[in-house]
């Protein structure tokens, strides 16, 4: 999925509600231009998390729709129901994971992005 998929999802949600671009931009607290760029995939950059969350809230998307939109925007999702890997963690790591799972989902996604960026930097340093 990419910007085309993101644009298609946002446009479909807006059109299901029979909202204009201007009204949707106002309700979602994003600019009309930004919304048009997202819907038409005329940008190489994925929108910021704040923009995606504003669209999710403004368009009143269901949890599955919201996750689909996040995925299309390239936002990593954490499946907190998958505990298969927990057996390999230390007690300290399990405690930290429990705290992470209890966080506000938006903050958890930001934290996940930060952790990924840190891993990338560490990999660059090693090479």
> What would the mean pLDDT of 10-21 be, rounded to a whole number?
96
Among the residue ranges 7-16, 33-42, 110-119, the one predicted with the least confidence is 110-119
| Domains of the chain by start residue, with CATH | 3-72 (1.10.260.40), 84-126 (no CATH)
Taking only the tens place, the pLDDT of each residue in 36-93 is: 999 998 876 778 888 999 999 999 998 889 888 988 888 766 555 555 555 566 777 7
Q: Which residue has the higher pLDDT, 46 or 27?
A: 27
Phi (first) and psi of residue 90, to 5 degrees: -75, 170
Give the global pTM: 0.60
Q: How far is 25 from 21, CA to CA, in rounded Å?
A: 6
* Most confident listed range (13-22, 48-57, 81-90, 100-109): 13-22
> What would the mean pLDDT of 29-40 be, rounded to a whole number?
93
Q: Let me know: does 54 contact 13? Beta carbons within 8 Å.
A: no
């Amino acid at each position: 999925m990419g910007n085309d998929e993101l644009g298609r999802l946002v446009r479909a949600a807006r059109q299901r509600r029979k909202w204009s671009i201007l009204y949707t931009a106002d309700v979602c607290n994003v600019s009309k231009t930004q919304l048009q760029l997202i819907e038409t995939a005329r940008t190489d950059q994925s929108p910021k998390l704040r923009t995606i969350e504003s669209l999710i809230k403004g368009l009143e998307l269901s949890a599955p729709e919201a996750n689909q939109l996040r995925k299309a925007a390239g936002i990593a999702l954490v499946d907190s129901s998958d505990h298969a890997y927990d057996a390999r963690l230390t007690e300290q790591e399990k405690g930290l994971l429990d705290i992470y799972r209890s966080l506000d989902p938006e903050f958890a996604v930001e934290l996940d992005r930060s952790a990924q960026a840190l891993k990338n930097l560490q990999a660059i340093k090693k090479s």
